[in-house]
Amino acid sequence: MRATVIWLLLCAPRAALAAPELFPGGRIFPEPYADPRESRFGFDWVESGRVSGRAGRGVTLAGTDGLGVRIDGMLWAWLRQTPGFNFPLETIDGQFGMALEGRTGTLSGRLRYGHASSHRADGSPDAGKPQVVWSRETVTLLGAWAPFEHATLYAGPTFMLRGEPDAPAFTAQLGGTARFSSKRWSPYAAADLRMKAEFDNRVNQSWELGVLLDGPHGPVLRVAAGYESGVSERGQAQEAVENFFRLGITLGD
């Protein structure tokens, strides 16, 4: 852990000596677009009559051109569509975290401590049954490389510090994004793969293809179609195998 912090600090030696800016815009570490656990604000229309709603945001508290401290949080709701345009809430997952991010040239890194928990709501088919307690505290280290101007590859491990219920503590993540134009409106593609020891090293897959709109500090709107395959990322459905297409909108940088 100590070596990781030192590496992130060395990512931007000149920037680290400069006076930090409070609440600077933009991102130091590139957002993993296809990672469903990334804090964001938006909605997905999911096949089989469900809606996935996310209310979240990440903010850089202080930073320079190459080093920053960022916090994030998100509430992730899973709703079921019923006749009459009703949407019973089945589960809601909450998360928050703090990250140290660094960047130099085409390389960047993120060290993040995070907490996540999941809760069953009254719209769940299992409402009324004893509540299942699910929570995780994790440390994630991701490294990213931008081999081209509009392409990024990233990879790294996640270690679980505490889990309820307890489970094997290792997740390996690999992914990337690519946009196909330097114009303000641009098509893009993204993928994210997550191998989880707690599910016998099964790989969760997330694929995304869409268009994005750039703002002053980065994309402020994304419209995309995606495909998810693997064990559910929702804690209350942790043993469910899911395979579905989705169509979604994400707002904010």
Q: For 229-249, write each residue's pLDDT tens digit.
A: 999 999 888 888 999 999 999
pLDDT (average), residues 30-55: 94
User: Whats the size of the chain, residue-wise?
Assistant: 253
Mean pLDDT for the chain overall: 88
**CATH superfamily name and code, 2-251:** Phospholipase A1 (2.40.230.10)
- Helix/strand/coil for 205: strand
Q: Which two tokens stand for residue 225?
A: 């179609």
Confidence of residue 19 (pLDDT cuts 50, 70, 90): low
The residue ranges of DSSP E strands in the chain, in sequence order, are 21-22, 41-46, 50-63, 67-80, 89-104, 107-120, 134-148, 151-164, 170-179, 185-196, 202-214, 219-231, 241-251
Task: Evaluate if residue 15 carries a pLDDT over 50.
Answer: no
What pLDDT shows up at residue 21? 78
Task: Evaluate if residue 38 carries a pLDDT over 70.
Answer: yes
What pLDDT shows up at residue 68? 94
What pLDDT shows up at residue 239? 82
Confidence of residue 94 (pLDDT cuts 50, 70, 90): very high
Task: Evaluate if residue 190 carries a pLDDT over 60.
Answer: yes
Q: In this predicted model, what pLDDT tens digit does every residue of 103-152 receive, in sequence order?
A: 999 999 999 999 999 998 887 777 667 778 899 999 999 999 999 989 99
CB 94 within 8 A of CB 74: yes
- Residue 184's φ and ψ, nearest 5 degrees, are -65, -40
CB 160 within 8 A of CB 169: yes
CA distances from 9 to 15, 81, 153, 156, 216 (A): 10, 47, 21, 18, 27
